[in-house]
A and B are shown apart, each in its own frame.
Chain A
């Protein structure tokens, strides 16, 4: 019953450092997503992967890269972290071919950039 698993749960970085957020799902979903959550702004889509082997930019992709490693895993990389990337990051997955697409979310990763 794992669903969507994200690591790490918490991370503190200094400006300019790099890190990768990991995400894995065990529901055999085709599509995966990375969102960031900021106060008063809801969730904004960073990148998504409609299916294994494809990735596309979302609303706020600048400063991030992603890798769809296989059907289960979708990682988010910050090459040179900036204070503006302080946020809570959520990974999600879905069986996008279904009519009313339902996203399953991970528990989130709280990132602070000093």
Chain B
């Protein structure tokens, strides 16, 4: 079945450091890929998405490129801020009804 694997956390960084969160997937067909972010005490919100191979999603300084050859969708940000401290979820969608398969989530802690 479909699945998403993302790196375990927590990831602890200093402000202005480079962030990478690895995400790989297994799916039949051609999934759409997503990154969601969950700030403390809140629900998940969409960070970025990509719908086909080689698409790059970007938002708020975060980027991820849909790599079909390596079945990956790694999240990157060049210079993190304390406000980026959150849990990040990689997810995929394969069916027409929009059900998402989520990874386990990666907690990111950014210190001043």
Residues of chain A having any CB pair with chain B under 8 Å: 4, 31, 33, 35, 40-45, 48, 50, 58, 90, 92, 94, 96, 99-108
Specify which chain B residues have a CB less than 8 angstroms from the CB of A92 in the assembled complex.
43-44
Specify which chain A residues have a CB less than 8 angstroms from the CB of B34 in the assembled complex.
100, 102
User: Are B98 and A96 interface neighbours, CB within 8 A?
Assistant: yes
User: Are A41 and B104 interface neighbours, CB within 8 A?
Assistant: yes
User: Are A43 and B89 interface neighbours, CB within 8 A?
Assistant: yes
Residues of chain B having any CB pair with chain A under 8 Å: 4, 32, 34, 36, 41-46, 49-51, 89, 93, 96-100, 102-105
Our count of residue pairs bridging A and B at CB distance below 8 angstroms stands at 62
Q: Which of B32, B44, B96 sits near A43, CB closer than 8 Å?
A: B44
Q: Interface on chain B toward A: helix, strand, loop, or mixed SS?
A: strand
Q: Which of B4, B43, B98, B104 sits near A90, CB closer than 8 Å?
A: B43
The CA of A48 and the CA of B97, in the complex, are separated in Å by 9
Q: A50-B97, A96-B97, A101-B93 are in contact. Are A43 and B102 (CB under 8 A)?
A: yes
